[in-house]
Amino acid sequence: MTTSDATTTAALRLGVNIDHVATVRNARGSAYPDPVRAALLAQQAGADGITAHLREDRRHIGDADIERLMQGLTIPLNLEMAATPEMQQIALRHVPHAVCLVPEKREERTTEGGLEVAREENRLAHFIAPLREAGCRVSIFIAADKPQIEAAARIGAPVVELHTGAYCDAHAEGRLDDRDTELRRLTEMAAYATSLGLEVHAGHGLTYDTVEPIAALPEIRELNIGHFLIGEAIFVGLPAAMAEMRRLMDAARAQAQKD
Ligand code: PXP
């Protein structure tokens, strides 16, 4: 699907993040399980896109995986990466459908926060310009904060991905007031980002228990989900895990349209 299709309909895309297949592979230094095989299976099972994070330490996906994903996929690849010269060169070499800029600290277990666009506006504006010229749809992974959204719009990013980690963590830890506060923030900021002309995506930490209120937000066009889906796939298989996620997303979307 092209991005313009998505902005003229209320379709909600599911991007499947396959990093954690690579994490299991890399734990043994073996050739399996193959994250590209998982990506092709996800594609066959109806994923709208594949997301992969090429970390600076290559702890998930490696350079050869990106090469194979670019060759094998017919659905869009969303390459997550830090805003470094090395990653920019790699993205310019492959020209994936989308590039999502994320903050990266070596010692973190996962991407812990959103990118500080407001603090690095000038540098990031220069960083994304060649990617956009090459034809990559640039997305910036940010917290649901007004200053970050405004900065993302000012530097010319067409897409922001709102970080749902704080909302999901609050839910998992039973901090329900905090969860509701985070959900309100995501709701307001999805609308605000859209009002500035940005396309809005969301992701991080989403599960069957947390996806519905996010899928119900009409401005959100894409969810990127990995860790939970890959974990669930151990028990039911990836197509079944994706089908259940898709069912919950679609039901929440349909219900929100009725309300
Ligand atoms: N979106 C972004 C920008 C991410 O960095 C990640 C994690 O790599 C995800 C979505 C998916 O998060 P999770 O694996 O927790 O579903």
Per residue in 114-123, pLDDT tens?
Answer: 999 999 999 9
Number of independent structural domains in the chain: 1
- Distant-in-sequence, close-in-space partners of 117: CB < 8 Å, separation ≥ 6: 124, 140, 142, 148, 151, 152, 155, 157
Residues 44-62 pLDDT 10s: 999 999 999 999 999 889 9
The predicted model gives 23-44 an average pLDDT of 97
Give me the pLDDT at residue 257, please: 87
Single pTM value for the model:
0.94
CATH number at residue 194: 3.20.20.70
The ligand 1 atom at the shortest distance from the C-alpha of residue 100 is 3
Identify the active-site residue in 60, 171, 204, 222: 204
Give me the pLDDT at residue 59, please: 87
The domain in which residue 146 lies consists of 3-258
CB atoms within 10 A of CB 180: 14
Residues in the ligand 1 pocket, defined by CB under 6 Å: 17, 19, 53, 80, 100, 102, 110-111, 141, 161, 203-206, 224-228
3-state secondary structure string across 138-183: EEEEECCCHHHHHHHHHCCCCEEEEECHHHHHHHHCCCHHHHHHHH
Q: Is the sign of the CA dihedral 187, 188, 193, 195 positive or negative?
A: positive
Question: Going by DSSP bridges, is the β-strand pair 159-163/199-203 parallel, antiparallel, or unpaired?
Answer: parallel
Residue in 24, 51, 223 to alter for ligand 1 test, most ligand atoms within 8 A of Cβ: 51
Give me the pLDDT at residue 11, please: 87
Identify the active-site residue in 53, 60, 94, 163: 53
Give me the pLDDT at residue 6, please: 41
The predicted model gives 198-225 an average pLDDT of 98
Backbone angles phi, psi at 175, to 5 degrees: -90, 80
